[in-house]
Structure 1
Amino acid sequence: MPDAEQLLADALAAARGTDVRQAERALDRLVVGDGPAVDGALLARLVRGVGRLWRRGWQPVDLDRIASRRLAPRGVRLLRDVLAAQRREQPGAVPQWFDDQLAELDARFAGDAGWLDRRAEGDRITALRDAVDALVLVEGLPPIAVLRPPPGGAATTPRVAAPAGASRMLDRVRALLAKAESTTFPAEAEALTGKAQELMARHSIDAALLDATAERPDQPAGVRLGTDAPYAAAKALLIQEVAAANRCESVWSDDLGFATVLGFPADLAAVELLHTSLLVQATTAMLRGRAERRTGSGQVGRRIGSGQAERRADGGRRTRGYDESFLNAFALRIGERLRTATATADREAAEERGDGRLLPVLAARSDAVRERVDQLFPGVTRHRLQVRDAEGWASGTSAADRASLDAGAPARRAVRPGH
């Protein structure tokens, strides 16, 4: 019988192919092979593959996000075990953010012996299939933009101290946005969201001025935010609009299911907080508008007779068109309103200082962010929006009016797919 390495290589080659029967036969041979040797070969190759990903731009949360999209739940948990196992073998310094991400994922490893059987739950065949699928995923991922030096590289400590009271300010913002998400009164949500944006804009200004006087000023950094189905493009558009309002740039990698946001640390924190809250608010408003639409058209409580399948399919298409148009309109309207709020905060801060220094500082930071985008994503293209449902567009715009601040008509910005 071939050794464990050869059995594993055969199983991987078959799993990457299109012949399902061949893949099952290869898996069967893996099952009857030497169990400890097979498990050791799997773990070693997974650990090597995961370690290579860090140098190719991936971070633990990125890997977990795409694994959740492409693997079975048990395969995701198995891959988290591998993350913890790989962490033990890091040859050099490991930055704190890396360990924080592993803790967030609850990645733990109890030791090599019997590691796969611990996940098998009495079903070794399925566990082996999950492990092979995880290895196919890990070894097939493309390189992506390197946002942080990988483990073993240079330390990535902040160059500039955060403005005094930054932690307390972020806690206040989180509390305001949590209230905005939970309230059933649009006017209250508007006021709470507006106050949160005002606080974040002021914090960004303080950070920019502090950075401008530093001996070693910060450079633009980046975060990745998931854009899961359904309506991934609309979610990417919301990220882009919130990013633009906070002096950041966003590039959507639709095939990988995330948007990369580039900007300075204080601005990135604002984007993450505000995007998360507005997505909740937009989804809640969309579901409410969908229910009101059905009630208004007399669809609630109607019995379905002949032609049931056709009407149900048509209704599903109409609902998807409504939802997508709603979310796109919401994102564009919110984006303009937030940009207006940021511009107002900038102007007021400049008037308070009276020395003409603030606006050039902010402009220089925006230029630095755009240069970073050009370096990391030289082949970015634009994606044109299509309005599929006028009622959904109108409802989404109205919901955005209620959810945020005062402004005029929305500028039609395009989502920018990246790589």
Structure 2
Amino acid sequence: MNTSHNTSHNTSHNTSQGTSQSRSQDGHEGAGPPSSEKALDRVRKLFAKAESVAGTPEAEVLLERAYALLAKYGVDEALARTGPDTAAAEVAVIDHVISGSYQPDQVGLVAALAAAMHCRAVTSARGDGTRVVHIVGVRRHVERVGMLAGALTGVMLAAAARQRPSPGVSAVTHRKSFMTGFAFEVGRRLEAAERGAVAESRDAAGAGLVLRSDSQRAETELRRRFPTAVRGARRR
């Protein structure tokens, strides 16, 4: 079992769709739809448009808009949790199944997403050739990671398929290099969007405090659920 600070979900040319299922801290399963479905629906539409034009400047603009909107949603939710209603602060686990080609690269993307969204992740292999990424964190954050994973895996794989390697470099090697850079850049941009949303919120100090606490709780729950997991294992 290997872990990383992040997680994901997928669609693709060369992969089949991933599936995810959430469980609460006490082990019960739950769906838990986000409270602001309208905002998340706008994000989904932006990602769908970005996938249709993957690898183009237009896709980059669409992704930036989606990241900013998703970050604002997360910060608004964090501020709401400074009040008396703490239901949204429940720690949950999403088990996300990854299948098809380029599985280590898909896992790397999910890991980057989880880290940027104040979650933690551990990956396990299954006998049927698929992998499961267990995403641990506050429910609203793991929901965001699950949605991002499903949307951005498709964008990443579509963009990678359009890459043309340099002479002497295999297509697979070139695509894997591209996907490593894609995951890193997505994580960086999401973290920047989160910082910007916190700074522009009505209570930057309060939002920052809640989000730091969320990260700590995710780490604690990861260690409780997966005590033998090896953090920082290299992807294969």
* TM > 0.5: yes
Match of 2:108 in 1: 237
- The equivalent residue for 1:187 is 57
Counterpart of 1:252 in structure 2 is: 123
Aligned-residue offset at 1:333: 2.2
Corresponding residue of 2:7: none
Aligned to 1:148: 27
1:212-231 per-position Cα deviation (integer Å, ceiling 9, x unaligned): 32355432111122222422
Q: Which protein, 1 or 2, shows the higher relative CO under an 8 Å CA cutoff with sep ≥ 6?
A: 2
The 1:162/1:182 distance shift into structure 2, 3 A limit, reads closer
Unpaired stretches in structure 1, ≥5 consecutive residues = 1-68, 70-97, 102-144, 151-155, 300-314, 387-419
1:277-310 per-position Cα deviation (integer Å, ceiling 9, x unaligned)? 2211111121111xx33xx64x9xxxxxxxxxxx
Displacement of 1:184 in angstroms is 5.5
- The answer to whether the aligner puts 1:197 opposite 2:35 as a matched pair is no
Is the 2:25–2:91 Cα contact (8 Å) retained in structure 1?
no
TM-score, L = length of structure 2: 0.77
| Unmatched runs of 5 consecutive residues or more in structure 2 | 1-15
Partner of 2:183: 331
- Counterpart of 2:234? 384
CA apart distance, 1:146? 7.8
Amino acid in the other structure paired with 2:112:
E
- Aligned pairs (5 A) from 1:145-224: 148-149=27-28, 163=35, 166-183=36-53, 186-214=56-84, 216-217=86-87, 218-224=89-95
- Write the distance in 1 (CA, Å) between the matches of 2:226 and 2:218: 12
For 1:348, the equivalent position in structure 2 comes to 200
Compute the RMSD of aligned alpha carbons.
3.1
Say whether the 8 Å CA contact 1:227–1:233 is kept in structure 2: no
Looking at structure 2, the residues matched to 330 and 184 of structure 1 have their Cα atoms a distance apart, in angstroms, of: 12
In the alignment, is the contact (CA less than 8 A) between 2:55 and 2:162 conserved in 1? no
Is 2:67–2:189's contact at 8 Å kept on the other side of the alignment?
A: no
What letter matches 2:185 in structure 1? Answer: R
Question: Which of 156, 159, 162 lines up with 1:288 in the alignment?
Answer: 162
CA distance in 2, matches of 1:277, 1:169: 15
| Structure 1 Cα separation of the partners of residues 31 and 234 of structure 2 | 39
1:203–1:266: 8 Å Cα contact kept in structure 2?
no
CA apart distance, 1:182: 0.8
SS of structure 1 residue aligned to 2:228 = coil
Secondary structure of 1:247's counterpart equals coil
| CA distance 1:221–1:184, shift in 2 (3 Å) | closer
Aligned partners of 2:93 and 2:137 also within 8 Å = yes
Do the aligned partners of residues 146 and 169 (structure 1) sit closer, same or farther apart at CA in structure 2, a change above 3 Å counting? closer
Counterpart in 2 of 1:268? 142
Q: How many residues align?
A: 212
Matched, 1:372 2:224: no
Quote the Cα distance in structure 2 between the aligned partners of 1:261 and 1:147: 15
CA positional deviation for 1:162? 5.9
**Greater strand share, structure number:** 2
TM-score normalized by the length of structure 1: 0.45
Note the C-alpha offset of 1:244.
1.2
